[in-house]
Structure formats: structure tokens, C-alpha cells
Amino acid sequence: MIPIYEQQTGNGIGHSQDTFMERFEEICRQHFTTGRAQSFAFIFYDFGDKEFRSLLDNQGVFAKLDRLSGTRLSLFYLHANTKNAIKSFNSKFISKLGIDAKVNLPCIVFFKFNDGSVSDIEVVTLESPSLIHGFMELYEIVRNYLDCSESTDNSQPRAMKIFKSTAKFIGIETFRVMLKKGLELIM
């Protein structure tokens, strides 16, 4: 996971929002050519969604998603404290990715970057804002995207595979086990 900061002081992981916007194509090209990522994703959210913002601020969530994405996916998100910064970022990058339809927030947008252009865009709306359920949903969506990216079964669009694999009904016992594991992962 790679945070994009509203304002960044000093060195560290991530980019400032202004620098990222200027260098977006260069960053994607660099990640791809150096083997840091095969595909990319943005997590978009609404400033008013405090639960989802706290999910992204959680270090346990960050670490688990970072390990999961590894060298297969560069997962970007904006870490900001003002409504205008998030609204501006969402508007610019949703437009830059060429997503014509109105996107429901929060969502994750997966894409490939080849020869200076964005392709294979897939949008998955996130439904669970709470820390535990939100983490499990986000983790499963990313995991399923990565698994589908490696799949040789091209009979269905990848977005449909992701939807089907994340929309499975889970029984109460399975839910309890997942909830317990989710708590262990976060803490």
C-alpha cells in the first residue's frame, strides 16, 4: 500500500498529493518496469465516512494489505485530513482513469498501465464501513483480484469473477471464525 499525503514533510513511504498528480504516469511506469507491481489500484472514499477513514489509518490493516499486494499490485490511497483535498483527489483521479459512470464511494479501482495508458479498469464498490468487516471485505476483494489476475480461465470477465467470489453467502459459524481472525489480524 502506498499512501498519498495531503501534505508531506520529510522523507518516508508515500508521495505528496501534488507530486503524485504530476508524476502519476512516471510512478506507474517505474513500478511496472522495476517489478514492483504488475497492476495498480486506488482506494477512493468520502471524507465524511469516518469509519472507513479509520480503517485506512489502522497500521494492522495497512501491513496486511501491503503484504498481500506484494510485488503484484501497487495499492494507492489518499491520507488526508480535509474534505476538499479528498474531494479534489477523487475528482481528478476518477476522471484521469476515465471512469464515466458515477462511482459509489468507498470503492477500489483496479487497472493496468501499459505504454503510457490506463487499461483493464475494474471498479468494486465496498459495502462494509466498520473496521473488522471493512478490513475483511477489502482484503478479500484485493486477494480475489490478485488470484483472478493469475487465473488462466478467461471464460468470464475478471470483474464478474471478483464479484462472484466476494459476494458469497457465509454461514454464521464461518462468519464467527472470520470475525475472530479479523480481530487477531488487526490487533
| Amino acid found at 67 | R
* pLDDT given for residue 145 in this prediction: 94
pLDDT score at 172 = 42
Mean pLDDT (10-residue bins), the chain, 187 residues: 70 68 88 93 91 88 93 91 88 85 87 86 85 87 90 52 41 47 57
Distance between CA atoms of residues 129 and 66, nearest Å:
19
Q: Is 175 helix (H, G, I), strand (E, B) or coil?
A: helix
Cβ-proximal residues to 136 (8 Å cutoff; 6+ apart), any chain:
128, 178, 182
Q: In the prediction, which pLDDT does 171 show?
A: 40
CB 7 within 8 A of CB 78: no
Q: Provide the pLDDT for residue 17.
A: 77
- Closest to 139 in 3D by CA, of 94, 80, 175, 182: 182
Neighbours of 78 (CB within 10 A): 23
Question: Which residues, 6+ apart, have CB-to-CB distance to 106 below 8 Å?
Answer: 43, 44, 45, 46, 49, 52, 125, 126, 129
| Euclidean distance between CA atoms 38 and 32, whole angstroms | 6
Indicate the pTM of the whole model.
Answer: 0.76
Domain ranges of the chain: 2-186
- What pLDDT, on a 0 to 100 scale, did the predictor assign at position 186? 57
CA pair distance 170, 173, nearest whole angstrom: 8
